[in-house]
Amino acid sequence: MKDTWKRFKQNRFAFVGFLFIALILVVALFAKWIVPYDPYFMDSSSPLTSPNGQHWFGTDQFGRDIFSRILYGTQISLKVGLIAVGFSLFFGTIIGIVAGYFGGKIDQVLSRITDVLFAFPDILLALVIMAILGPSLTNLMIAIGIVYTPIFARIARGAVLSIRDSLYIEAARSMGVNSFQIMLRHILPNSLAPLIVQVTLSFAFAILAEAALSFLGLGVSPDTPSWGIMLSEAKDWMEISWWTAIFPGVAITLAVLSFNIMGDGLRDALDPRLKNER
């Protein structure tokens, strides 16, 4: 573990990603105190002001301060990431471990279901689930969670298969440890490395998916300071106010980029063999 951290820190690129995620987290936690304006306050006297000393990123069509809305947007993105990925991680891992550990019919059925879910493009599946559940932030998180569950199931299953028949699992089994305990104590910890990497990368996907669904108007309610919503609204105004379309996009890109490079860095740090090929 110590080695992993050391290798991770040596990867300056990934470390910058990590620092940026930390920054996003701090902003999300303290947004209330650091925003210069109330992100919901509509100042009808100054709609679509270009960036200036008072409004660093300008204002939107209702005169709301874009900088403040972007800072608040970190809360939405992180919340969606945490809950959606938490959902997929929890259910995906259980499904994957069960399928891998028991094998046979259970594995066949679960794996086929996973295959079927994989055949649906992420966005399409999330859209249909949203249509079923109705638009709300909670439903959005569930929809994204369902969409990424098969990935975790597949990773967990693969990890289980690679160690299921190893000696120490056999030893534990012969000592009468029950299946549940074996899965919890022995198999789960061994699946951790690829799961951690996937959690980080899925965070990036989840942020992107939230933005995309909100952009299509199928995500959260329109006054929410979500980066996707902001971009969606900017479409109608960008002809006369470019800033409405630029800053939310930069925010999404930077957040997603941070999680992606951190995920990449983690993968290299957790599995040095991959990095040091040749």
Residue type, 48: L
What are the distances in angstroms from CA 84 to CA 17, 88, 91, 199, 210? 21, 6, 11, 10, 10
Is position 104 an interface residue for other proteins (rule: CB under 8 A)? no
Examine residue 8 and tell whether it contacts other proteins (CB under 8 A).
Answer: no
Which of 19, 26, 34, 128: binder of other proteins (CB under 8 A)?
A: 128
Q: Residue 275: which of 8, 5, 1, 2 has the closest Cα?
A: 8
- Closer CB to other proteins, residue 137 or residue 211? 211
Question: Per rule CB under 8 A, is residue 140 in the interface with other proteins?
Answer: no
Binding flag, residue 236, other proteins (CB under 8 A): no
Half-sphere CA count of 174, side-chain side, radius 13 A: 7
Q: Which residues pair with 59 in a beta bridge?
A: 65
State which residue, 125 or 160, has the beta carbon closest to other proteins. 125
Residue 63 structure tokens: 């005169």
In this structure, what DSSP letter does residue 135 have? S
* Per CB under 8 A, 206 contacts other proteins: no
Out of 24, 159, 256, 270, the only residue in the binding site for other proteins (CB under 8 A) is 256
Q: Is 252 in the site for other proteins (CB under 8 A)?
A: yes
- Residue 274, judged by CB atoms within 10 A of its CB (0-12, 13-18, 19+), counts as exposed
What lies within 8 Å, CB to CB, of 23 at 6+ separation is none
**Segment lying near other proteins (by CB under 8 A), choices 40-48, 60-68, 148-156, 210-218:** 210-218
* Residue 245: CB minimum distance to other proteins, A: 5
Residue choice 42, 48, 117, 193 for contact with other proteins (CB under 8 A): 117
Reading phi first (left if > 0) and then psi (alpha if -120 to 50, else beta), residue 178 is in: beta
- 84 or 183, CB closer to other proteins? 84
Please give the residue ranges that form the binding site for other proteins (CB under 8 A): 13, 112-113, 115-124, 127-129, 131-132, 134, 204, 208, 211-212, 215-216, 218, 231, 234-235, 238-239, 242, 245-246, 248-249, 252-253, 256-257, 260-261, 264, 277-278
